[in-house]
Structure 1
Amino acid sequence: MERMSDSASTVAAVGPFDSADTPGTADSAVPLDDAAPAWERRFRAPRVSLPDWAEHAPDRSVFLSNASGTYEIYAWDRGTGAQRQVTDRANGTTTASIDPTGEWIWWFADTDGDEFGVWMRQPFGGGPDVEAAPGLAPSYPAGLAIGADGLAVVARSTDEDGSTVHVVRSGAEPVTIYRHRESAGVSALSEDDTLVVIEHSEHGDTMHPSLRAVRLDGSLVADLHDGPPGEAPASGLSCTGFAPVFGDSRVLVSHQRRGRWEPMIWNPLTGEEHEIDLGLPGDVGVDWYPDASALLVEHDHQARSELYRYDLATGALERLATPAGTVLGATARPDGSVEYLWSSGERPSELRSTGGGTVLVPPGDRAPGSVAVEDAWVAGPGGVIHALVSRPAGGEGPYPTVFEVHGGPTAHDEDHFAPGVAVWIDHGFAVVRVNYRGSTGYGKEWTDALRERVGLIELEDIAAVREWAVSSGLADPERLVLSGGSWGGYLTLLGLGVQPENWALGLAAVPVADYVAAYEDEMEALKAMDRTLVGGTPDEVPERYAASSPITYVDRVRVPVFISAGLNDPRCPIRQIENYVARLGELGAVHEVYRYEAGHGSAVVEERIRQVRKELDFVKRHLEMPKSV
C-alpha cells in the first residue's frame, strides 16, 4: 500500500486520474475565471476520471469529477446522456464502484479525509444513501468486489484486527472469510459468484504479494506464491480479475518472474498457469476484453505508455493507435472499442475512444496547456537514472529549478499533464523529476533497490541528477528548490538534512518527518509497508529508522522550509510532523507550516490552490525569482 501523491485519487474502480484530467460535463461545472492566472485555471478546469461501467448494463457508468469544485462521484447514463452528481460532501468523495447490474453505486464515506469509514450505496437513478454493509464497523478500505443479487466481498483493515475479508449479503449478517495481521485485500470475484481471490502479504513482504483463491465460505481453493511456503517470494503477484464469463474460473494475473511485470492466466481450480510473453521491453498491465477472447495490454516504458490488443486464440498482438504520452487508464467496451484517459506534459488529458472522438466532452473552457517534457539519462551510483525535464518556453538557462520528487515510493513520474509542474514553468523555473531507485516502471531490481537504506538510496540518485542539471547549464546552483508531496515530502525533508549544501529551499507536503512517530500513528497497512521497506519495526531495527528519518538530521537544515499538512492524515500523521516542526523552532530554523482540515492532500480545488499560493509566496520571499515574475 502506497503513501499516495498529493493529488486526490480513486482507490476503487473509478480511478485512476491525474491532477488535470479532461473537464467533465456536469451542469454544475464551476466556470473558469479568464482573469485568473493560467496556473489557477489549470486546477479549476473541470476534469473526469476514466468511467467505470456496469458489466451487465454497460450504458451505466460512474466517474469522478471536480466539476463542483470538489472531487465527487457522478453517475452517467450513456443511453440517455443524463448525468448527475451522486455525492456532495465538504471534503469530497474519491472512492466508488458500480454493481454489475448497474442498479447500485457504492461509495466510501470517511470523515474529513481520514480514510476511515463505511461503504454506502445509492440507487443509480438517485435516492437516499443507505449503509451498504450493515454490521461492519468503520475501517480502512482494502478492496471491494460486487456480485449479483446483493452479494459483495468487502476487505477492511483496522489497527486492532489487521486485515479481514467479509462476504456481505442483503438482509444477512456479514460473514468473515479471512483474517490476518499482515496486509491483505480482495482482488476479484468470479462471474458466477463462487470464487474470491485475495491478495495478501502473510509472508511479511508487502512489495511482493501472493494470491489465494477461496470459496465464499472461506475454504481454500489454491495458493499462488512465487517462493517457498511461508517465506518471502522472489517476485510479486497481482490479480486483475476473473474472466468476465459465467462459469469461467480463469484469473488474469501479473507477475515479475523475469524482472518486470508481465501477464499470465491462472486457473485456481486446475492449477494451470499460462505465462504470456508479449516481447515488450517495459512493464505490462492487462485487463480482459468483455467476452474474454482477448486482453487489453497497457505497456509502460520509459515514462510513456501505449495500448495493445492481444488475441488469446491466435497470439496476435495488435498496437492500438494512441498519441505519444501517457495512458492513465483504459477499458475495453462491449463493442470492441477501448476508452482511455490520455495526456502529455503539454496537453491536458482527454478521455478518448479508439472508436473515434472523445468521451465526456467538457462544457466549458479547456485548461491552458504547458510545455513538452524532455528526457535526461544520467549515470548514477546504481545505474542510469531517467529524469523528466520541463523548462520555460522563453529565456535561457541556467534557470532557478524545482526538483519535484514523486510520492509512492513505488510509483514513477510520467510524460503526462501536471498542473503542479506547470505552476513553476509559468513562473520562470525549470522542473526536474527523477525516477530514482525505488520507482516503478524500470524493472523489479530498480524498484527493490531502496529497501533497508530507505530514503538514502533515493537521495543518491537525486544528487546525481542535480549534479547533471547544474553542469549541463540547466539549473542555477544557487536557486535549487527541493519539493515533493507524501513520500516526495519525506525525501524533501530528509534531503535538506542529509544534503544541506545542495538546496536553497524546501517545500514538503504531507511528509514523513519523524519516521518512528509516523510508524506509531499511521494506518496498519502502512506499518506493514514500512516493515517491508526498513526490514522490521522501530524496536527491531532502531538504527535503520534513525538513519532514514528526517528528524535525525534536522539540526543540519540550513535553508528555509515550508511544510503543509493535513490534520486528519492517516498516512503521514500530524503528530510526527509537529515533532519535526518543534525541533525546527528550537533550532531557530526559518520555516512555516500550513495545517488544513483534510487528510493526505485535499479533494477541494480551492484548498489545493490555496496551498500552491502559499508555496509561491514562500519562495518569492526567500529566493531570488526570475525577473519576468
Structure 2
Amino acid sequence: MTDASADTTATTDPVPDWEKRFRAPRVGLPEWAEDAPDRSLFVSNATGTYELYAWDRATGVQRQATDRPNGTTDGTLSPDGEWVWWFSDTDGDEFGTWVRQPFAGGPDEPATPGLEASYPAGLAIGRDGTAVVGRSTDEDGTTIHVVRPDGTQPAVVYRHRESAGVGDLSRDGTLLAVEHTEHGDAMHSALRVITLDGETVAELDDSEGGTEELGLMVLGFAPVAGDTRLLVGHQRRGRWEPMVWDVAAGTEEGLAVDLPGDVGAEWYPDGSALLIEHGYEARSELFRYDLAARELVRLDTPPGTVSGATARPDGSVEYQWSSAAEPSVIRSTAGGVVLDPPGFRPPGSVPVEDVWVEGPGGRIHALAQRPVGHGEGPFPTVFEIHGGPTWHDSDAFAATPAAWLDHGFAVVRVNYRGSTGYGREWTDALKHRVGLIELEDVEAVREWAVGSGLADPARLVLSGGSWGGYLTLLGLGMHPDAWAVGLAAVPVADYVTAYHDEMEALKSLDRTLFGGTPEEVPERFEASSPLTYVDAVKAPVHIAAGLNDPRCPIKQIENYVDRLAARGAEHEVYRYDAGHGSLVVEERIKQVRMEIDFALKHLPR
C-alpha cells in the first residue's frame, strides 16, 4: 500500500508543483465594451490577489483597475468603454455598492448615487449612461432601480419579496428583461419585460398551468437598435436550450439544435448568428448557429472544458479552455493565444477517467484521477465534493485536486443528483430530501471506488467547500464509519441557524429546496442538518470558515464546533478574515496546506 504520510513533492526546486499551480499568474476571459471593442476588462491574480484589469487592445496597455486586500472580481465596462464599473463590498461580505472609474485611470466615484448598500441582483448599463441596478436586502427582498445620468433620484421599477434579478437591457435602452421567482420557486425563474417606467410589455412563465416548474433564463437582447428579440434559455424538453422570443410580436422561435446535454447561447455582434456553448458529460464545445440558414457549424476546440466564450465583431470567437491535465488558456478561433499572463505557466496534472455508477436515482457520473508513480493502488483517496449544489465538476484544470494527486492521493469527484449538466430532473431531484439525496450518490460511488481497487477503505477523506462542505459534515455524521478524515470549508453546519442568518436570496432558495421555512417544515431541516448527527461523528474534522461569509455564516459553524468540543471530538477550526472563500493566492495555499497536513496527520499509516 502507498504510505499516505510520505510527501512526494520534494525536488531541488524549493517551491513544490502544487504551490506553483496556485501561484502561477492567470487571466480570465476578457470582456469587451460593446461600442468600443478594443477596450477590455479581465480578472487576474498577477499581484497575488484576484483583481480587475483594464486592457486597451489598440495600444497594448494593461492597467490594474482595483487594488483591495481581499480582491475584486465583480466588474464590467460601460458600452462606450469609458468607464470601469466594479462592486465594492467589505472584506468579502458581498454587501456594498457599485463604483466606477475612468477606463484610462483615475479616482473611483459612486456609480449609483442615492442607492444604499445591498447584495447585488444584477446590473445593466445603457448607452446614454442610464443604469439599471438590482438590489437585494433582508428588509425589502429584491428591488430594481433605474439610475439616470442627470442625477435625479433613482426610480424603483420592480419590487418583490421573492428573489429576482436584472436580466438585460435592450440595445436602445427602452426594454428591460427581469428574471423573477414570484411564483415561489427560487430554482426556476419566470421572465418579465418592462419599460424603464415599470410598465409590463410581455411575460413568459413556463410554470403556469402545469404541475412541474420549468425554468427560464435571460441570455440577452439582440444587439441591434430597435430589435425586440430576446434570447432565452428554457427547459421545456428537460434540459437547457435556447430560443428566440420576440417580446413585441409575442412569437417564440425554437432552434434547430439537436445536441445531448445542456445548450447555452449568446448573440454574435451583428445579430445574424448565435454562439452555441454545448455541455455534455463534463465536457463542452462551441458551435456557430446561423439564424437565417438554421445551420449549426462546430468550431474547432480541443477536448476538455470551455469555461467562457465570446464572439467578436470580426466574427472570431475568443474562448477560455482547459482540461484536468492542461492549464487554462485563452485562444481565438482566428488563431493564437489572446491574452497571455505574465510569468511562468503552471505545471500540468493528471487526466480524469470517466466513471459511471448505478445509483438509487439513476446512473451517476464521477471523475476519477490516479496519482502517477505510486503503484497500482489502492490509494488513499479524497472525495472532493463540489459546491452549488447547482454546479458540476468537469474535465477542467483545478489546482486543489492536483495538489492531492501530487501527495499520492487518488481524487474522486461526484456529479450527484442536484448537479447541473445532466438534465432538469437530475438537478431538481434533491427537493425536500436536501443533502440526503446527494449523499446516496456519494455513497454509491464510494462503494465503487473501494470495490474497484482504486481507494483504500481505511484512508478515505471526505472534503468539500460551501455546499460540498455541508455534504462533508452531513456525511461524516450520517456515515461515520465510512470516512477516516473530514475537511469542510465554509460549510452549512447548523441548517436552522444558517437559514436565519444567511442572505435573503439564499433564504428563498432554501424555502424552495425544503418546501418551507424551518418553522413550517422543522422535520425536514432536522433531517438535513449536520448538527443533528454531530454526536455520531468519528473522523477528525478540519473546518475553515470566513468571518464575513453571508452564505454560510459563522455563527452556525460555531454552534457545530461547540458540539464537537463538548464531547472532546478531534477537530481543528481555521477562521479567516474574508467571506465565502478567499481571492488571495497565499491564503488559499495556506488553507490547502493545512488540509493536506491534517489528512496526513490523521490517516492510518
> TM-score, normalising length from structure 1?
0.93
Secondary structure of the residue aligned to 2:481 is helix
Instruction: Please show how residues 269-308 of structure 1 align to structure 2 within 5 Å.
Output: 269-308=248-287
CA–CA separation in structure 2 for the residues paired with 1:63 and 1:190: 24
One-letter amino acid of the counterpart of residue 339, structure 1: E
Which residue of 2 is the match for residue 520 of structure 1?
Answer: 500
- Corresponding residue SS for 1:423: helix
- Counterpart Cα distance in 1 of 2:450 and 2:407: 19
1:20 is aligned to none
Distance 1:338 1:233 in 2: 37
Question: Mapping of 1:119-134 within 5 angstroms?
Answer: 119-134=98-113
Query: Which secondary structure state, in structure 1, belongs to the residue aligned with residue 220 of structure 2?
Result: strand
* Alpha-carbon displacement from aligned partner over 1:262-319 (angstroms, at most 9, x marks no partner): 1100111121111214010110010000001000000000000000000000011000
Shift of 1:232: 7.5
User: 1:605 aligned to 568, 572, 585, which one?
Assistant: 585
1:224 matched to 2:204? The reply is yes
The partner residue of 1:335 within 297, 314, 317 is 314
Give the 5 Å matches for 1:33-44: 35-44=14-23
Distance in 1 of aligned mates of 2:522 and 2:567? 24
Q: How many correspondences in the alignment?
A: 592
Q: Is the 8 A contact 2:46 2:341 kept in 1?
A: no
Q: CA deviation at 1:621?
A: 1.2
Q: Which amino acid aligns with 1:78?
A: R
Aligned residue for 2:450, secondary structure, equals helix
**Residue 130 of structure 2: which of 151, 158, 161 is its match?**
151
**Aligned equivalent of 1:529:** 509
Quote how far apart the aligned CAs of 1:35 are.
2.4
Match of 2:194 among 214, 217, 220: 214
The SS at the match of 2:500 is helix
Query: What SS does the corresponding residue of 1:609 show, helix, strand or coil?
Result: helix
1:200 alignment counterpart: 180
Quote the offset at 1:624 in angstroms.
3.5
Name the Cα RMSD after superposition.
1.0
Per the alignment, in what secondary structure is the counterpart of residue 385 of structure 1? strand
Are 1:507 and 2:484 matched, yes or no? no
1:41-74 Cα distance to aligned partner (Å, 9 max, x none): 1001111111110000000000011111101000
Name the CA distance, whole Å, in 2 between partners of 1:575 and 1:319: 50
* 1:560 partnered with 2:543: no
Secondary structure, aligned partner of 1:500: coil
Per-residue CA distance 1:183-236 (angstroms, 9 max, x = gap)? 00001000000000000000111111100000000010011000227x886310
Over the matched positions of the two proteins, sequence identity in percent amounts to 71
Q: Decide which of 143, 148, 166 is 1:164's aligned counterpart.
A: 143
Partner of 1:177: 157
Q: Deviations over 1:522-566 (max 9, x none)?
A: 000000000011111001000000000000000110110000000
Closer/same/farther in 2, CA of residues 602 and 149 from structure 1, 3 Å limit: same
Deviation of 1:594 after TM superposition, in Å, equals 0.1
Match of 2:170 in 1: 190
Matched residue of 2:390: which SS? coil
Alpha-carbon separation, structure 2, partners of 1:234 and 1:407? 23
Counterpart residue identity of residue 194, structure 2? V
What's the CA shift string for 1:115-167, capped at 9, x where partnerless? 00000000000001000000000000010001112211000100001000000
Counterpart pick for 1:243 among 218, 222, 228: 222
Residues 566-605 of structure 1 aligned to structure 2 (within 5 Å): 566-605=546-585
Amino acid at match of 2:107: P
Structure 2 residue 400 is the aligned partner of structure 1 residue 445: no
Counterpart Cα distance in 1 of 2:13 and 2:580: 30
CA-to-partner distance for each residue in 1:373-426, whole Å, 9 max, x for gaps? 110000101000000001111211100000000000000000000000001000
For residues 298-345 of structure 1, give each alpha carbon's deviation from its aligned partner in whole angstroms, at most 9, with x where no partner exists: 000000000000000001100000000000000000000000000000
Please state if 1:61 is matched with 2:62: no
Q: Partners of 1:135 and 1:315 in 2: how far apart?
A: 47
C-alpha displacement at 1:34, in angstroms? Answer: 5.1
| 2:339 paired residue number | 360
State how far apart, in whole Å, the 1-side matches of 2:312 and 2:306 are. 16
Q: Determine which of 20, 32, 56 is the counterpart of 1:77.
A: 56
Residue 424 of structure 1 corresponds to: 404
Does residue 322 in structure 1 map to residue 301 in structure 2? yes
Using the TM superposition, give the Cα deviation of residue 172 of structure 1 relative to its aligned residue in structure 2, in angstroms.
1.7
| Bigger mean CA offset, 593-602 vs 39-48 | 39-48
Q: In structure 1, which of residues 376, 392, 401 is the aligned counterpart of residue 381 of structure 2?
A: 401
Give, in whole Å, the separation in 2 of the partners of 1:562 and 1:97.
37
Matched with 1:494 is 474
Give the Cα–Cα distance (whole angstroms) in 1 for the partners of residues 414 and 378 of structure 2: 18
1:438, 1:446 within 8 Å by CA — same for their partners in 2?
Answer: yes
Please list every run of at least 4 consecutive aligned residues from structure 1 whose deviation after the TM superposition is greater than 4 angstroms.
none
Distance 1:439 1:52 in 2: 27
Among 370, 389, 392, which residue is 2:368 paired with? 389
> Is contact 1:204–1:232 with CA below 8 Å preserved after alignment?
no
Change beyond 3 A, Cα 1:34–1:58: farther
Q: Measure the CA separation in 1 of the matches of 2:27 and 2:444.
A: 37
Q: State how far apart, in whole Å, the 1-side matches of 2:166 and 2:213 are.
A: 22
Q: Secondary structure at the match of 2:408?
A: coil
Q: TM-score, normalised by structure 2?
A: 0.97
